[in-house]
Structure 1
Amino acid sequence: MARPPLHLVTYPEIVPDTDSGIRRVTVKIPYAHLNYAHTIEVDEALYAGAKKSRKSATVPAGIGDAWLAGYYRAFVFDKHQEGFYPKLLAPFRKIRKELNLDSDRYLELLTAYVQGLPYDKEKLASIEIAPRFPVETAVDGTGICSDKSLLLAGLLSHEGYAAALLHFGKENHLAVGIPAPAGFDFQKTGYAVIETTAVSYIGSDPCTETKGSLVTRPKVIPIGNGTKTYSAIRDTAKILTVIRELEEKLNPEGTMVAELLRVKESAERQTETLRLLKERIEQDADLSEEEEKELLASAGRKLQRLQQTVHQYNALAKEFARLQELASFIRNNRLDRQAVVKRLQQIHSGGRS
């Protein structure tokens, strides 16, 4: 039996409301260690209409999931939002000019804004979790994975990036993708993941960021006809590798934690052995001069070994503290890739870390 044609699918569409007012919205944009706030004006008729409009699609039986691409694109490219995108993008373009941002850093700026929007836990707990239109997410200042991903995909596509949506059907999760070369893409999709629900580096494993398990290969839904990509993916891949290596060492079950504990316990055993030996030397009145001499020599050797163990422990503790500080620096500078890359380059070249 032939599959029904896609034109039979009815997609969501904004029906503008009758309200003629203007809603002023503060757009908060974090970037590096800067925080910007700009006010934009959104037509109340557009926002209210988006709120009230139907969010579901009417899908004929037997069509499979072929309708999904059109469904999500309907949210991003609804014709009534075309005037909204330039208004929202205006402050970003201003910041790009002020900071002389290249294409990669501008993509990071747009991403930081969307990632910084609070996650809408209340909506997630509700019965109805249909996506918001991007104008709703921007005005509400919050959203779940679908809301935030549709907003970011819309912003990127309107700025000429080759954005895509990554749909994890089994896990009911939506993320954004940006083209990446083989070895730097997610599950051989040809796209690196931009997880919108948490502040994270581009290319981060969505399983890590969502604290979940995304086992299915996502369906890739290109959004728009942009051609710009993200050439800094190799930088973020290196950063993410360092993060994994640090976690393997520093977490409570990590290799360095285990080594610190082993050396500490060894020092404690050696200390107790030395204490008992000194106690015997001091209290055993029956020791001959020769026996006492041998025990004192043994105590000297044990003290030397203990000092070496303590030195080993102190060196490990110093390195542990250094790595903790590095991990903290990487974590606290997720919005400043260049600063992290510079720090790692200094370490690699043997400079100050």
Structure 2
Amino acid sequence: MWKQISAILVLVVMTLGAGCLGGLSPPAAVPPTIVPVEGASLDHLPVYTFPFEDGEETIRIGIDPAVYAGAKEADRRLHLYRDLSEEEWIPIYYQAFANDSHQEPFYANLIAAFREIRDREGLDDDRYLELVTAFVQSIPYRTDDSITEPKFPIETYGDGEGDCDDKSLLLAGLLAREGYRVALFYFGDEAHMAVGVGSAGCHYRNTPLAYIETTNASYVGIPPPVLSNGTVLASDPLVIPVGDGPRYYAACDQVMTIERALSVSRARVEALAPELGMRAGELEAEKEYIESLGARMAALSRSGEVREYNRLVPEYNRKARDYNDAVRSYNTLLEESRTTVDLYNHLVTHAHDRPGSYLRARAYLRE
């Protein structure tokens, strides 16, 4: 859940100057800005190790203590000099956090670390976007009760934690500077924020953008059916542009295959569960009957009642044969259920590895 937005409507009385130009009108809004605190220092810097594809990556950069301290001490309120609508002033507010010029060296250093991984691993634009996304998603989700407004991205990095708007601002700021078309999704009714990125397919609602959830590990282009607090995103978001570069996400066809495999595998497991339960009950009852019949036959054998014993032998053999066939059938279904559960769990827990998940999803759907 995001933190509140502070907006103040400032009433300004202007007087005309004596010069030929007259008075100057104030801007419509003055957003939050960072004023570096010279002489500031940092006690520690976080080191981020996070899963990506079939391995792990580590990010470690330095940040300017003066800028970090300035972000911490910034006035986070938006000062309005005109009565703007929410659709007008909310973008101004959030764009100020993402685009404060004092953060550009921070962005450059962090991007340099990502590019080193990109070049080493030979990542294309889709996998590179997923790398940056996996990093931001790995930052622990936590709300700082001492701050009632959003954080600047340099704060989120330096603090090693953030909530939905903090992490979304960081991701959007990074992707914008790497040339992606990117925006913030502002869900006012649900008090949530996510990121949208230009995409070929998997568009979110009435936008040309793919949804990215930043609060946890998830696939680009697959919005959550429900948030961790039980909230369902029912409203259309306010789209706040952050970057208008030419890069876009082109792996939506693979993401849709993963999403379909998730849906099909879950439905199959849910369908198998009652069937397995029913068969297990039948097998238990049949086993008890066979054991009872076997005990009766053993008693007949001990008492020398050979004729009655021989009469029951065909029934016992038939029951045992049917039981063994039923066990084999049950075990086949049980193995299918376990395999399907394993696939579903793998896809859910490996959102950081879209290429690998796609191969598994495709193989499952072709079976």
TM over 0.5: yes
Give distance in 2, aligned partners of 1:127 and 1:51. Answer: 11
Are the counterparts in 2 of residues 266 and 309 from structure 1 also a CA contact under 8 Å?
A: no
Measured against aligned partners, the alpha-carbon deviations of 1:232-264 in whole angstroms (never above 9, x if no partner) come to 1221221122223333344xxx22222211111
Task: Give the direction of change, closer, same or farther, for the CA distance of 1:63–1:208 in structure 2 (3 Å limit).
Answer: closer
The correspondence of residues 137-152 of structure 1 with structure 2, limited to 5 A, is 137-152=156-171
Alignment check: 8 A CA contact 1:163 1:223 kept: yes
- Return the match for 1:154 from 154, 166, 173: 173
| 1:196 Cα deviation from its structure 2 partner | 0.5
Q: Which runs of 5+ in 2 are unaligned?
A: 1-10, 12-24
Contact 2:40 / 2:69 at 8 angstroms: preserved in 1? no
Shift of 1:345: 3.6
> Is 1:338 matched up with 2:360?
no
In structure 1, what is the equivalent of residue 152 of structure 2?
Answer: 133
Structure 2 counterpart of 1:305? 322
* 1:205 aligned counterpart, secondary structure: coil
Moved more, 70-79 or 24-33: 24-33
How far the C-alpha of 1:179 sits from its partner, in A, is 2.5
1:260 aligns with one of 273, 276, 289: 276
Q: Indicate the residue corresponding to 1:35 in structure 2.
A: 56
| 2:253 aligned residue | 234
Provide the secondary structure at the position in 2 that maps to 1:83: helix
Larger radius of gyration: 2
Match of 1:274 among 280, 286, 290: 290
Whether 1:56 aligns to 2:77 is: yes
Are the equivalent residues in 2 in contact too, given 1:176–1:195 (CA < 8 A)?
A: yes
Give 1:103-122 correspondences, 5 Å limit: 103-121=125-143
1:205, distance to aligned residue in structure 2 (A): 2.2
Partner amino acid for 2:39? D
Could you tell me how far apart the structure 2 residues matched to 1:349 and 1:257 are?
Answer: 22
- 1:173 and 2:192 aligned: yes
Between stretches 54-63 and 308-317, larger displacement belongs to 54-63
Alpha carbons of 1:24 and 1:100: their partners in 2 closer, same or farther (altered >3 Å)? farther
Does the 8 Å CA contact 2:200/2:250 hold for their aligned counterparts? no
Distance 1:86 1:345, change over 3 A: same
Cα separation, 1, equivalents of 2:312 and 2:238 = 74
Query: What is residue 18 of structure 1 aligned with on the other side?
Result: 38
Does the Cα contact within 8 Å between 1:197 and 1:210 map onto a contact in 2? no
Q: Quick check: 2:49–2:57 contact (8 Å CA) kept in 1?
A: yes
Structure-1-length-normalised TM-score: 0.86
2:333 and 2:309 map into 1 onto residues whose CA distance is: 36
1:66 maps to 88
**Does the 8 A contact of 1:180 with 1:192 survive in 2?**
yes
Superimposed CA distance per residue, residues 270-299 of structure 1 (whole angstroms, 9 cap, x where no aligned partner): 11222333444455789894x665543333
1:37 is paired with a residue whose SS is strand
8 Å Cα contact 2:152-2:169 kept in structure 1: yes
Q: RMSD in angstroms over aligned alpha carbons? A: 2.8
What is the TM-score of this pair, normalised by structure 2? Answer: 0.83
1:340 shift after superposition: 1.8
Distance in 2 (alpha carbons) for counterparts of 1:38 and 1:187: 34
Deviations 1:314-352 (Å, cap 9, x if unpaired)? 1112222222332343244322211222233444556xx
Identity %: 34
CA contact (8 A) 1:17 1:48 kept: yes
Shift in CA distance, 21/129, structure 1 to aligned 2, threshold 3 Å: closer
Pick closer, same or farther for the CA change 1:128–1:47 going to 2, 3 Å: closer
Residues 64 and 83 of structure 1: CA distance in aligned 2, closer, same or farther (over 3 Å): same
Q: Which runs of 5+ in 1 are unaligned?
A: none
Equivalence for 1:196: 214
